[in-house]
Amino acid sequence: MGRQRSRTVTLTDVARLAGVSVATASKALNARDEVAPETRRRVLEAAEELRFQPSVLARGLQTGRTRTIGLLTDELAHRFSIPILLGVENALANGQMSVLLCDARGDAIRRQHYIRTLIARQVDGFVVLGDSNDVRPSLTPQIPVPVVYVYGESDDPRDVSVLADDEHGSRLATEHLVSLGRRQIAHVTGPQSYRAARDRATSLRVVLASAGLALAGGAPLYGEWSQRWGRTAAKMLLAANPDIDAISCGNDQIAAGVAAAVRELGRRVPDDVSIVGYDNWHEFAADCQPPLTTVDLNLQQIGEIAVKHLFAALDGQPSSGVVRQPSRLIVRDSTGPRLSPARTSTD
Amino acid sequence: MGRQRSRTVTLTDVARLAGVSVATASKALNARDEVAPETRRRVLEAAEELRFQPSVLARGLQTGRTRTIGLLTDELAHRFSIPILLGVENALANGQMSVLLCDARGDAIRRQHYIRTLIARQVDGFVVLGDSNDVRPSLTPQIPVPVVYVYGESDDPRDVSVLADDEHGSRLATEHLVSLGRRQIAHVTGPQSYRAARDRATSLRVVLASAGLALAGGAPLYGEWSQRWGRTAAKMLLAANPDIDAISCGNDQIAAGVAAAVRELGRRVPDDVSIVGYDNWHEFAADCQPPLTTVDLNLQQIGEIAVKHLFAALDGQPSSGVVRQPSRLIVRDSTGPRLSPARTSTD
DNA sequence: CTGAAAGCGCTTACAG
DNA sequence: CTGAAAGCGCTTACAG
């Protein structure tokens, strides 16, 4: 480890090799146009030859800009955190920024500690990644640099929050079911305490109402985000209401459980009962039997857009309010037309 | 955003308030013992009052230590990356270190770029997180600071690699099945190109052999890491060899597929056929029907141990070779004794 | 167009 | 025990 520790090459080395002062070398490398073309060429050549990498520390100390962003997450272990984080990291790298990662793990003390740490490291801005899409208290008052909230909405409207659009996603899914001729549509979802569950259910009912339909079973079945709950709920639903011809699920795990139970009860998916999931969690949705039609939240784009807003703020153009990223319907085999003949399956 | 930008307080401010020089203030804060107790007290008080946070940049420029680690991942999106990353982040935070995250996403160009970036930022060390537990080319020659490899083994034995112990995990799982009286044990796993698949299969056969058993079906069924493959393989196995009483699976997704197919074929799990998974991926293992007995790789500990080795190297005590973290068997309902009477299920 | 000088916020010999 | 001074590697007025 660290076997060939070579002295790092410094701007002074470059200047010496190019035969100029460090001041001139600095200007040449930073493309300030007070430098003669020939001089610039020599400096760039020297830098290239020495594989010069300017010290981000020294530059940061001088300019106050560290080209570093603090990414403060509530709970990195959550499934949706990673795609968002990838989007953030991607967009930052394009802007030559690096990201300091801090995961508070739902602990307020730890979060406070990390906020101080990131400030001490003089990050240029913060990305605050929520652990649910519920509204959360703004952290901005304690943070002296621009902040953008992702996935979870800040309770201060002066902040900017980049969010998934559950109204839109649920509408896509529901319209899809309606357009397939489904008329007895039930809804199985997670705990009512989650904004995601409530928003998706509300949007579903709005779309059904505008199609002249009522929610099968009367009310959404709130439960938990698990296959187990999906299995239980599907059995309850089909026992109470055998005419159900579609089940919209609050996430893909629930949908996988629903699909298993529906098949176990001898109904065909999608012919007898069509099923839609939510989230497009690949291992559950694409690998389900049958593969699930579902809603993709475009999480990576959410992360990228958040960074765009942060960059704008760093350039003195802060934004505020809520930005919603549209969702995308992914159609697979768990949904199909209502009155189709039994399909000649090649499954 | 960034509404109340306050001037950051500097060591000079603290020194002034405490009525000492910056040199003395610095010594007092860094607990060097050339400072009078009373003086130290005044300085600490002043720092506290001003909520002083030393500039990591300035300190780093001076000392050459940035208290920052570069975490270079091959593919953060992989399931096992997150627990390891959490372990790393946790252990680093305990050491007052921050982590710069760079995900190469399997792209060599991008990886090179990130290595240069991290070096330019003068990280004190690297953690290189592999995207599989296959052996990988060492990156150490290009990196002038200590490096520790995690999950994927470096091909240079002078490097230190902290790995999961698949031999151990597979042994735990197999011994568990054997101890339950299972005698016709088959193995369904991922692609043979994966070291994880090969190592787990090898260990399984060793344990079986030492118990005087042969692998049911003659050879492991290599396929893919999916539920679908689990379903397919289970049907093949039970058709060809109806006496199979246990199926060991290369991961939890496969096991979930196997469990679904076994039940569909009218066999009871665990009574007729016991099933073990691998990975303890909660959403698949704990939420399976029935919940899966599986092997936990202790990924978070792997990350923490890697950091310990890195810290040791930073203290001038580098290690080398392979360090393996023992696994842990998680017993749930998918395994049980062989000749039990039909259970009075409360499921 | 070029370079000497000051300074970013610290730490660390060194002198007193 | 305390403090003036130099220096970490840059950038940026400023003078020439």
Shortest CA to C1' contact from A15: nucleotide: C3
Q: What is the pLDDT of residues A69-119, one digit of tens each?
A: 999 999 999 999 999 999 999 999 888 899 999 999 999 999 999 999 999
A347 is written with which tokens?
A: 């499954």
Match domain A166-293 to its CATH number in 3.90.950.10, 3.40.50.2300, 1.10.1040.20, 3.50.50.60: 3.40.50.2300
CATH 3.40.630.30 fits A68-164+299-326, yes or no: no
Q: Which residue has the tokens 């001139």?
A: A24
Does residue B286 approach strand D to less than 7 Å at its CB? no
Which strand (E) or helix (H) includes residue B106? none
Does residue B23 approach strand D to less than 7 Å at its CB? yes
SS3 for A163?
strand
In this predicted structure, the answer to whether residue A1 has a pLDDT above a threshold of 90 is no
Nearby residues of A44 by Cβ (< 8 Å), 6 or more positions away: A28, A29
Kindly report the number of other CB atoms within 10 A of residue B212's CB atom.
8
Count A/B contacts: CB-CB distance under 8 Å.
Answer: 168
Q: What is the pLDDT of residues A277-320, one digit of tens each?
A: 999 999 999 999 999 999 999 999 999 999 999 999 998 999 99
Show pLDDT as tens, one digit a residue, over chain B (347 residues): 334 445 788 999 999 999 999 999 999 998 677 788 899 999 999 999 999 989 999 999 999 899 999 999 999 999 999 999 999 999 998 888 999 999 999 999 999 999 999 998 999 999 999 999 899 999 999 999 999 999 999 999 999 999 999 999 999 999 999 999 999 999 999 999 999 999 999 999 999 999 999 999 999 999 999 999 999 999 999 999 999 999 999 999 999 999 999 999 999 999 999 999 999 999 999 999 999 999 999 999 999 999 999 999 998 999 999 999 999 999 999 999 986 544 444 44
Phi, psi at A275, each rounded to 5°: -130, 135
Distance, in Å, from the CA atom of A331 to the CA atom of A342, rounded to the nearest integer, reads 19
Protein residue closest to C8, using CA and C1': A62
Buried b (16+ CB within 10 A) or exposed e, B72-88: bbbbbbbbbbbbbbbbb
Order across the sheet with A221-222: list the strands: A221-222, A185-189, A246-249, A274-276
Domain boundaries, chain B: 11-54, 68-164+299-326, 166-293
Match domain A11-54 to its CATH number in 2.30.30.100, 1.25.40.10, 1.10.260.40, 1.20.120.420: 1.10.260.40
- Answer yes or no: are the C-beta atoms of B73 and B32 closer than 8 Å: no
Does residue A26 approach strand D to less than 7 Å at its CB? yes
Which strand (E) or helix (H) includes residue A140? none
Which strand (E) or helix (H) includes residue A276? strand A274-276
Which strand (E) or helix (H) includes residue A203? helix A195-210
Which strand (E) or helix (H) includes residue B285? helix B282-285
Q: Residue B64 corresponds to which amino acid?
A: G
Answer whether A29 touches B (CB < 8 Å): no
A166-293 has the same fold as A11-54:
no
Q: Give residues 208 to 267 of A whose Cβ lies within 8 Å of B.
A: 226-228, 231, 253, 260
Protein-contacted bases of chain C (C-beta within 7 A): 1-5, 7-13
Closest CB to B253 among A3, A60, A287: A287
Protein residue closest to D2, using CA and C1': B24
Distance, in Å, from the CA atom of A150 to the CA atom of A163, rounded to the nearest integer, reads 6
